[in-house]
Every structure is written in structure tokens, then in C-alpha cells.
Amino acid sequence: MFTTRPELTGTFGMVASTHWLASSAGMATLEAGGNAFDAAVAAGFVLHVVEPHLNGPGGEVPVVFARGGSGGLAGRAAVLSGQGVSPAAATIEGFEALGLELVPGTGLLAATVPGAVGAWLTLLRDHGSLPLDAVLRFAVEYAESGHPLSPRVAATVASVSEHFSTHWPTSAATWLAADGAPPAAGRLFRNPALASTYRRLLDAARGPSREAGIDAALAAWYSGFVADAIDVFSRRPVRDDSGRDHAGFLTGHDLASWQPTYEPPVTTDWRGWDVSKAGPWSQGPAMLQTLAMLDGVPGLAPGEGAGQQAPSAEVVHATVEAVKLAMGDREAWYGDMPDVPITQLLDPQYTAARRALVGDTASLTLRPGSPDGRPPRLPRHVTDPSGSFSTGAGVGEPTVGQSGEPTVQRTGEQITERDGTTRGDTCHVDVVDRWGNIVSATPSGGWLQSSPVIPELGFPLGTRAQMFWLDRGLPNSLAPRKRPRTTLTPTLAQDRQTGRWLAFGTPGGDQQEQWQLCFWLAHTVRGLDLQAAIDAPAWHTTAFPSSFYPRETNVGEVVVESRVGDDVIADLRRRGHTVVVADPWSLGRLSAVSADPTTGLLHAAANPRGMQGYAVGR
């Protein structure tokens, strides 16, 4: 079978990410004697610099990992939550007083505590082996001396350049030339303010031990100069996509009172694999629910379609319908709450009842379930489409191709409006080392286009609070010091029979779980290797509420890469799906690594889509 790249195989270490410079920095860290945690942190900080339209220091990162070797933590999946919480002053009443029915997707009102740096430093302190300067030096060099600007970054800046010039002068000063021109793709781009921030962080990282130095850096970020600059900047009103100027709620005290948390994952058994995800403050359990529903689907019997790259129409239909059911539950039940009925949602009896709802034709309604008989409650935005809310396209505006059929002209990256409104996407990194440590992380938020640059720091705040609802009484209703129900969802799985570990993930907002499902089914059911499974045609549905402002739903819509084939597309349309045919290599930017103790081999693969992800290793 032809693949766009080889599946990498070796014994020393593997790094796969959405940008080759991040992968290379991670591999250089392994070569310098670091472990998988050191390498993941090095790659993560580089991603802040080279993919600033997809993540940044003002954003967040969930991490799923397992340690090799011996000891109490060895061989067990764990989650580190780097998702910051809402400010203490952020209340539903506060937004109502501003006349807002949704949290804006840009500006300062949607800021949560920046969690990415805290999570990366905590991972380095607790599980890494190198000092901070050894892993941060790559990001400092690329910010200070420059890196070749990716075409997508240049295009993103160009799309919001007028907004920068008119409303966000600090972003214009960082990203635009003196005459207002956006930077050119492929040219060296420098961010001296960000480089200075990182150098100040290194200056603060002093102490009698490696761990004490990292703690000192954490203090500088969350209680020192970074928190002080954020506190001052958040008080200045800026334009957001409500069309008005608003100051933010975030304060230095919010930063000082937060820290990342270690948590047990939510894990389900799927045909001998333990598949682990972050909890229901993420959308991760939706993939587990979907897998449980698919376990009884005839077209997905073990070995069905073995060796085939493209899926059957039956498989696409079944996964789409199961995803709709899982996402209905996501909207009704998921959130950063202690009473989310996650055990009941994954219970075999509940799963069987949900599976029975998957019919031969497309469902055109959102159908959350009733675990333990509890009635679901959906946001008013979803239940009252005749209100002041609007619906629209959630995957990019369809255009009409030569055949007259709708097509989507996009690369699978985020969609950015002229005012900075962004519907999804992020970065991803996976690392495995020769000691058996394995990491899967999905850094995101703090997008250059979604919030103005803080001039002293060289980066903007995140806008993850746009995922809260302003209805009262929902699991994902806004409340002070609460995590929004995020879309970020790295995956770690272990084959219980062989002990093999597999880490994988993708950018893509609400589509992350779905594109991972495409990969997972290609790998575990059809038996394709990591690279072939990533290369295989992908699909997703947008027939549920988007997590991003303005929270659209596209009833009945399924987006497929054209490579699924005309017969599959025709079959889906006969079943009642509204099929949007995307470009052949446009959906998802997966990466994956694995470690097999039965062979002693490590494997890695990365996505050709977007033309910048790479896996490296030996």
C-alpha cells in the first residue's frame, strides 16, 4: 500500500507533531539525554512560537501520559490538566449586564487562566530530567533569531490585518510592518517580546535544585511579571466579535490562585484495548461513548475490511450516527462538575440502548440520552433556534465545484473571520522514549488572531471561555473558577494482551474525536499501520452545536474527503445525509507514536495534510 511517508521504526525515541521544527526540537532533546517528558515540553514551547495561530503561552494543554520503568506510577495512564479556569469575577450576571447571550469568541471577556505554561513546567518538574534552559532554548532561539513563517500563519495574519490596524494596535505592532502589510510566508519572523519573556523566565529559574528552579519559574509566571502584565492589560477595553469594546475579567489574583492538576483518566475497554481520555471537562469521553456504541456494528466486526484504505459507506454512516448521539450527551451532560454521570454514560446497558437508535438513515435531531432516567437539559441556543441566535456553516463556507456539488476549499486548519473569530483547531505532539515513557498532548488557545497581544509579553490571552453557556443550571454553565468544557482531547491506549502503548491526537476543534476515530478504526479494525491509518480518507459530521462562537449547528451535514469514493458518497446521500465533499487531503492533522514491548520497537507517523507535520525518530 502506498503511503505518503514511511511509518518510522526504531528503538531510541520517536517524536511526532504538527510542525517539523517542534518535532526536531523534541528529538534533539532526546538525543541530549532527555526523556519523553523533556522532549514533549521542548516541542510544546516551540509550537507556541511556530504555530501561534493555533496555540500560544496564553492558551491551555491537556496531557495524557504513562511512565515506563518501575514504581507506583509506571504503566498507568494519567492526565495532567493544563486547562485554566474562568476568572473569579466571571459570572452569568456579569455577561447579562453587558447585554450578551453568548460569550464572545474574541477579545478579553473569553479569557481563562493561561494553563499551558503551568502544565508544561509541571510536567517537566515532576517527570522530566533536564533543567528548564535545556528545553526552552529552542523556543527562545526561534522567537529571538527568527523562524520561517508558515503559509498558514501568514494567511491568518493577512485575514485579520485590518482588524489589527483598526482595533488592536498592539497586535499590529507585533505582526504587521510599519505600512500595515502582513508578514510574508517563508521569511524569517521574529518575536523579540516573546523571546524576552522566555529569557526573563529563565532568569527567574534559580534554586538549589532542578525542581526548585522550575518552581521559581512557575512563580514568576503566575505570581510575578507575567501575572502583573496580564492584570494591567485585562483592564483595558478592546473590541471583540460582539462588535463592542469590553475589558476582561481576568486578574493577577486569578493566575496566582490556579495550578494544573493531575487526574485519573476516563478509560474504557474496547476489544482488549484500554483507551484513556481526559474527563468530562473535555470532550474526550465522547470518543469512548462512540466506540462503545460501534462495538456491535456489523461493518466493524474485527478484521472487517482488512487492508482496505477507504472505509465502507456502512462504517461512515454508523460512526456519524454514533457521534451524533455521543455529542448529544456531550451537550446535555459534560462539564467541569463533580456529578457528571460518566459511569452511567459508559455503562453497557446504556450503550446498548443508544446503539439501538442507530438506524439505516440519517438522524436529523439532537438526541441526548437519560442516564439513570435523569432527563437531559440542553442550552436555549440549541432548543430555540427561532430566537436571536443564528446557525450557519461550521466547517467553512461551501463553494460549488465544476460538478455542481458543494465542495469545501480548506486544509483542515482553523477558519478565521476578519474580526478574529476562530472556529477550532490547535496543535498536537506525541513522544515515546527508549525507557517506555509516552506522552500525548494537545496544546491550543492563545491564538494570535483572537485576542490582542500583551505588548510586554509578546503573546495574547486565550478565548476558551467562549465554550461556556450563559444559561443557568447546565453542566457547562459559566461559573467563577470553573473549567470550560473544552474540545482538546489527546488519547493514550494500551493493548492489554501485548502491553503495547499507542499515543495519538489531532487538531480540529469539535472534529478531533471524529478524525481520531477514523484513524483508530483504520488501525485497529482494518489493520493498517500508523502511517497508512493516518493517510486513510477521513470524515466527520457537524450536526451538533459547535463549541465555538457563534455556536452553529448544521443539521444532517457530513463532510467527507473525496477519496472515500463516489459510491460511498452516493450511499450516504441515499441515507439522507447532506454530504459536503472536501478536498482529498483536507481533514485532520493526526500524529501518533507507539511502543511495543514484545518486539522492543518504537513506531511513529505524522500527517501530510497541512504540509508541515512530521515524525522523527531512530
At 19 the pLDDT is 98
* 389 pLDDT more than 80: no
pLDDT digits (tens, 9 = 90+) for 217-250: 999 999 999 999 999 999 999 999 999 999 999 9
* Dihedral pair phi/psi, residue 531, rounded to 5°: -70, -45
> Average pLDDT in the 123-143 region?
98
At 424 the pLDDT is 61
* 89 pLDDT more than 90: yes
> Average pLDDT in the 267-296 region?
96
Angle (deg, nearest 10), helices 225-233 and 210-222 = 20
pLDDT digits (tens, 9 = 90+) for 542-558: 999 999 988 999 999 99
* 193 pLDDT more than 80: yes
Measure the CA dihedral 319/322/328/333, to 10°.
-110
Question: pTM value?
Answer: 0.94
Place of cell 452569568: 92
Rounded CA gap, 461 and 465, in Å? 11
- What's the one-letter identity of residue 564? V
* 207 pLDDT more than 50: yes
* 596 pLDDT more than 50: yes
- Residue 147 falls within a domain, yes or no? no
Q: Are strands 491-495 and 13-17 parallel, antiparallel or unpaired?
A: unpaired
At 301 the pLDDT is 83
Q: Which of 581, 579, 545 is nearest to 563 (CA)?
A: 581
- Residue 185 falls within a domain, yes or no? no
- Which set of grid coordinates corresponds to residue 18? 504538527
Centre a 10 Å sphere on the Cβ of residue 568 and count the other Cβ atoms it contains: 22
- Residue 439 falls within a domain, yes or no? no
> Average pLDDT in the 266-282 region?
97
For 69, residues 6+ apart whose C-beta sits below 8 A from its C-beta are 435, 436, 437
Helices (H) and strands (E) in the chain, counts: 19, 25
550 or 567, which is more confident? Answer: 567
Q: Picking from 92-101, 418-427, 432-441, 592-601, which range would have the lowest pLDDT averaged per residue?
A: 418-427
- Residue 23 falls within a domain, yes or no? no
At 474 the pLDDT is 97
> Average pLDDT in the 494-499 region?
96
Q: Is 125 helix (H, G, I), strand (E, B) or coil?
A: helix
- Residue 257 falls within a domain, yes or no? no
- What's the one-letter identity of residue 506? T
pLDDT digits (tens, 9 = 90+) for 331-358: 999 999 999 999 999 999 999 999 999 9
* 531 pLDDT more than 80: yes
pLDDT digits (tens, 9 = 90+) for 37-65: 999 999 999 999 999 999 999 999 999 99
The proportion of the chain whose per-residue pLDDT surpasses 90, expressed as a percent, equals 88
Mean pLDDT of the chain: 93
Helix, strand, coil percentages for the chain (3-state, nearest 5): 35, 15, 50
> Average pLDDT in the 123-127 region?
98
* 422 pLDDT more than 80: no
* 403 pLDDT more than 80: no
E-strand ranges in 240-296 read 245-246, 261-263, 266-270, 273-277
At 317 the pLDDT is 97
Cα 408 to chain centroid distance, Å, stands at 21
Rounded CA gap, 274 and 501, in Å? 10
Place of cell 483507551: 275
Confidence of residue 74 (pLDDT cuts 50, 70, 90): confident
Cβ atoms 190, 197 nearer than 8 A? no
At 385 the pLDDT is 60
* 481 pLDDT more than 50: yes
Rounded CA gap, 198 and 458, in Å? 10
Confidence of residue 420 (pLDDT cuts 50, 70, 90): low
Q: Is 192 helix (H, G, I), strand (E, B) or coil?
A: helix
> Average pLDDT in the 531-552 region?
95
Q: Is 42 helix (H, G, I), strand (E, B) or coil?
A: helix
Which run of H or E residues covers position 234?
A: none
Domain of residue 512: give its range. Answer: 266-372+487-617
Place of cell 514511511: 6
Following DSSP, what letter does each residue of 44-90 receive, concatenated?
Answer: HHHHHHH-TTTB-TTSBEEEEEEB-SSSTTBT--EEEEE-PPPPTT-
Cβ atoms 105, 241 nearer than 8 A? yes
Q: Which of 462, 459, 425 is nearest to 445 (CA)?
A: 462
Q: How many domains does the chain have?
A: 1
For 243, residues 6+ apart whose C-beta sits below 8 A from its C-beta are none
* 184 pLDDT more than 90: yes
Burial of 1 (0-12, 13-18, 19+ CB in 10 A): exposed
Domain with residue 573: its CATH number is: 3.60.20
Rounded CA gap, 497 and 507, in Å? 30
- Residue 18 falls within a domain, yes or no? no
For 209, residues 6+ apart whose C-beta sits below 8 A from its C-beta are none
- Residue 601 falls within a domain, yes or no? yes
- Residue 21 falls within a domain, yes or no? no
Confidence of residue 400 (pLDDT cuts 50, 70, 90): very low
